[in-house]
């Protein structure tokens, strides 16, 4: 199978797309080297053997045993980094939402928090691949999904820019908890 990447992609975007293809050891990808030259107007052809294709899936289809997947998600919530209860590590939680409005918690630890700090932005859309998938613990309350993801050095993340012609960003989330102004006094706790 051949995938044509538009010439509007810069070399780093092309390398990222190839990195996604090469991330899984069974995947084989080839690219014409001359097409990476600056100001080249040739089309870049990325060849991937169909038997080893990465699965394009939604959050609900990803389990710990799922291999070779990629998911289009939007960041809908970013918590501040904080220390674990035993003070042994720093972590940060992020909530992602896919095209079907299914949400999942993502955890990053100390080094990855710094690594992804400039890249991961609220309401931006990303293609994420090879995140570690773990079973959610119910001892701290009801989780938003039965699994959660861990972003680490092996995770491949590509931001989808609004100007991208091939892949469009997700629209802002529609799952909103809206309270009208006339209901606010009823929700306030008596402070007397």
Q: Tens of pLDDT along 42-76?
A: 444 444 434 456 789 999 999 999 988 999 999 99
In a domain, 178, yes or no: no
Residue 86 vs residue 176, higher pLDDT:
86
**186 falls in which pLDDT band (50, 70, 90)?**
low
Percent of the chain with pLDDT over 70: 66
Q: So what's the pLDDT on residue 137?
A: 86
In a domain, 117, yes or no: yes
Residues 58 and 48 in one domain: no
Strand partners, 125: 74, 160
Residues 28 and 106 in one domain: no
Q: So what's the pLDDT on residue 138?
A: 81
Q: How many domains does the chain have?
A: 2
In a domain, 100, yes or no: yes
Residue 117 in tokens: 């700090």
Residues 29 and 89 in one domain: no
Residues 100 and 156 in one domain: yes
Q: How many of the other CB atoms lie within 10 Å of CB of 147? A: 17
8 Å CB contact between 77 and 59: no
8 Å CB contact between 44 and 14: yes
Residues 92 and 15 in one domain: no
In a domain, 192, yes or no: no
Q: So what's the pLDDT on residue 182?
A: 76
Q: Read off the pTM.
A: 0.64
State which residues form the domain around 79.
54-173
8 Å CB contact between 125 and 73: yes
Residues 68 and 28 in one domain: no
Residues 84 and 129 in one domain: yes
State pLDDT tens for residues 147-162.
Answer: 999 999 999 999 999 8
**79 falls in which pLDDT band (50, 70, 90)?**
very high
Q: So what's the pLDDT on residue 160?
A: 94
Residue 36 vs residue 120, higher pLDDT:
120
Residues 46 and 60 in one domain: no
- Mean pLDDT check: name the lowest of 66-70, 128-132, 141-145, 176-180: 176-180
Residues 102 and 129 in one domain: yes
pLDDT at 107 over 90: yes
CATH number at residue 105: 2.40.50.140
Percent of the chain with pLDDT over 90: 45
């Amino acid at each position: 199978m051949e995938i044509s990447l538009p010439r509007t992609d810069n070399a780093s975007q092309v390398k990222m797309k190839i990195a996604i293809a090469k991330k899984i050891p069974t995947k084989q990808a080839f690219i014409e080297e001359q097409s990476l030259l600056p100001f080249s107007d040739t089309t870049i052809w990325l060849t991937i053997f169909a038997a080893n294709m990465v699965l394009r899936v939604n959050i609900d289809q990803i389990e710990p045993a799922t291999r070779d997947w990629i998911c289009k998600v939007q960041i809908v919530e970013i918590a501040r980094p904080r220390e674990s209860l035993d003070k042994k590590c720093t972590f940060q939680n992020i909530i992602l939402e896919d095209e079907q409005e299914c949400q999942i918690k993502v955890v990053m630890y100390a080094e990855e928090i710094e690594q992804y700090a400039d890249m991961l932005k609220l309401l931006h859309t990303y293609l994420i691949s090879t995140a570690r998938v773990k079973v959610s613990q119910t001892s701290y309350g009801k989780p938003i999904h039965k699994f959660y993801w861990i972003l680490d050095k092996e995770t491949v993340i590509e931001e989808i820019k609004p100007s991208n012609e091939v892949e469009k960003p997700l629209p802002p989330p529609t799952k909103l908890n809206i309270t009208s102004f006339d209901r606010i006094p009823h929700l306030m706790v008596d402070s007397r």
